[in-house]
């Protein structure tokens, strides 16, 4: 059995150890929710202050030019690109993941007008499937089929998450992309739960979407991103044809005329304050060796699974190669168990109906944290501390 001293020794040898000091983490807690909202990069507050006081405060409307605000969707997109295996000019940042999904699916359907089936995963994070349902309803005449049906020969577009938000199971991106495209359909990947946790490569896909507030640590409400394969840049249409995707936004022409390249997928005025925090987060990622992030992520999640043992039913794949950077367990009283755990400083989250979810962000979580989290979890279960009445009442955000 691994003991705490062994974990401290692993922390001392960890090549990513120094990154922990670049994040603000409250004393006395183990934060295993970086897969929902990443921790605050230490210099983000100063970066946001600069945008507020120096740029907005002093440059006022001139900031659109002098501070580069108008180009943020493109400049931040170029900085995000290496994290998903893409190149410059292939990623646009802004809006939210749900909106990027709408754009990607709508564009894919227009590229395959003869096909009338959209595939998505009913077990995936609901917004993905909801957006597909909304779009299908708007257009009329579309069938929405579950990915599990496994049939793509009559399909226009397939939307799938690389890592499942609930189970942490990881799909094989290259083989699914190839299978979907060989069937004549377009592949759209959602990398919300993989980007920043492992080496992601969606460059062969037709489209990809993701958020930046989970493992990427860009803060609550941070801009999302959309990748469009260059083979579609000249032909794919952005149905959310806002003025920022226009070829000449300041010509104020009566008709929409798409910009060249990825810029046609920009929609509207960038969320400048949120972009400032994203820029700060990306300053960190520029120095991160992603192969080491993945190696440590697999080690942390495997350690946690070993330490918890058979005290809980494992929902995530046992093989580290087949999962993301999270571990999920099932417990019929999962909600009060998680509340009891949080009360003791170990922060995970709960996903209905019965899943306890623990995310391991390798930049700021260490081996001793994993040890402490598992020890506390085992104590909550052994002593049935979760039976306390205080933990029965559901909070709004779980
Ligand atoms: C987190 C997440 C989202 C978030 O969507 P928003 O539009 O930012 O609220 C969407 N899809 C998946 C798979 C996610 O994990």
CA nearest ligand 1 atom 1, residue: 192
Nearest one of 396, 387, 324, 384 to 357, comparing CA atoms? 324
Residue-wise pLDDT tens digits, 215-226: 999 999 999 999
**pLDDT recorded at residue 1:** 57
Nearest one of 173, 175, 208 to 192, comparing CA atoms? 208
Q: Relative to the CA of 214, which ligand 1 atom is closest?
A: 1
- Reported confidence tier of residue 290, pLDDT bands at 50, 70, 90: very high
Separation between Cα atoms, residue 312 and residue 377, nearest integer Å: 10
**pLDDT recorded at residue 345:** 97
Residue-wise pLDDT tens digits, 168-187: 999 999 999 999 999 999 99
Average pLDDT over residues 234-243: 97
Task: Give percent of the chain above pLDDT 90.
Answer: 97
CA nearest ligand 1 atom 15, residue: 192
Q: How far apart are the CA of 120 and the centre of ligand 1, in A? A: 14
The C-alpha torsion from 65 through 66 and 69 to 73, rounded to 10°, is 80
CATH of domain 46-285: 3.40.640.10
**pLDDT recorded at residue 215:** 98
- Reported confidence tier of residue 57, pLDDT bands at 50, 70, 90: very high
Give the catalytic positions in this structure: 125, 190, 213-214, 357
- Domain boundaries, given as residue ranges, for the chain: 4-31+289-392, 46-285
Q: How far apart are the CA of 125 and the centre of ligand 1, in A? A: 7
- Other CB atoms closer than 10 Å to residue 247's CB: what's the count? 13
Which CATH number is correct for 4-31+289-392, 3.90.1150.10, 3.40.1350.10, 3.40.50.720, 3.40.50.2020? Answer: 3.90.1150.10
Ligand 1 pocket: which of 101, 134, 165 to mutate (most atoms within 8 A of CB)? 165
Residue-wise pLDDT tens digits, 68-116: 999 999 999 999 999 999 999 999 999 999 999 999 999 999 999 999 9
**pLDDT recorded at residue 371:** 98
Average pLDDT over residues 322-338: 97
Task: Give percent of the chain above pLDDT 70.
Answer: 100
Same fold, 4-31+289-392 and 46-285: no
Mean pLDDT score across all residues of the chain = 97
Q: How far apart are the CA of 320 and the centre of ligand 1, in A? A: 23
Residue-wise pLDDT tens digits, 15-32: 999 999 999 999 999 999
User: For the chain, how many helices (H) and strands (E)?
Assistant: 11, 15
**pLDDT recorded at residue 52:** 98
Nearest one of 167, 131, 138, 112 to 318, comparing CA atoms? 167
């Amino acid at each position: 059995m691994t003991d705490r001293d062994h974990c401290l020794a692993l922390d001392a040898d960890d090549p990513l150890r120094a990154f922990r000091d670049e994040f603000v983490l409250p004393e006395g807690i183990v934060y295993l929710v970086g897969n929902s909202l990443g921790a605050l990069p230490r210099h983000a507050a100063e970066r946001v202050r600069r945008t507020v006081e120096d740029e907005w405060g002093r440059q006022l409307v001139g900031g659109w030019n002098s501070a580069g605000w108008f180009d943020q969707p493109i400049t931040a997109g170029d900085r995000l690109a290496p994290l998903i295996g893409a190149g410059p000019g292939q990623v646009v940042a802004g809006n939210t993941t749900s909106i990027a999904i709408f754009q990607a699916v709508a564009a894919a359907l227009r590229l395959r007008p003869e096909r009338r089936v959209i595939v998505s995963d009913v077990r995936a994070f609901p917004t993905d499937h909801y957006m597909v349902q909304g779009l299908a309803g708007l257009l009329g005449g579309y069938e929405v089929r579950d990915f599990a049906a496994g049939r793509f020969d009559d399909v226009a577009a397939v939307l799938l998450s690389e890592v499942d938000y609930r189970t942490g199971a990881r799909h094989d991106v290259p083989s699914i992309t190839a299978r979907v495209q060989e069937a004549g359909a377009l592949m759209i990947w959602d990398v919300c739960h993989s980007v920043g946790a492992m080496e992601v490569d969606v460059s062969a896909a037709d489209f990809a979407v993701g958020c930046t507030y989970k493992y990427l640590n860009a803060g609550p409400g941070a801009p999302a991103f959309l990748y469009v394969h260059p083979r579609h840049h000249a032909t794919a249409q952005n149905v959310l044809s806002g003025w920022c995707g226009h070829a000449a936004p300041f010509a104020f022409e009566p008709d929409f005329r798409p910009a060249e390249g990825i810029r046609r997928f920009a929609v509207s005025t960038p969320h400048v304050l949120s972009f400032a925090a994203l820029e700060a987060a990306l300053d960190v990622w520029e120095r991160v060796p992603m192969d080491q992030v993945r190696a440590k992520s697999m080690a942390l999640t495997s350690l946690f699974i070993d330490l918890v043992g058979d005290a809980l039913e494992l929902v995530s794949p046992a093989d580290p190669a087949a999962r993301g950077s999270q571990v999920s367990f099932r417990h019929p009283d999962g909600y009060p168990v998680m509340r009891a755990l949080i009360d003791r400083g170990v922060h995970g989250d709960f996903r209905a109906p019965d899943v306890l979810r623990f995310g391991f962000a390798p930049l700021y979580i260490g081996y001793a944290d994993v040890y402490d989290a598992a020890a506390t979890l085992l104590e909550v279960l052994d002593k049935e501390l979760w039976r306390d009445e205080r933990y029965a009442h559901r909070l709004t955000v779980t």
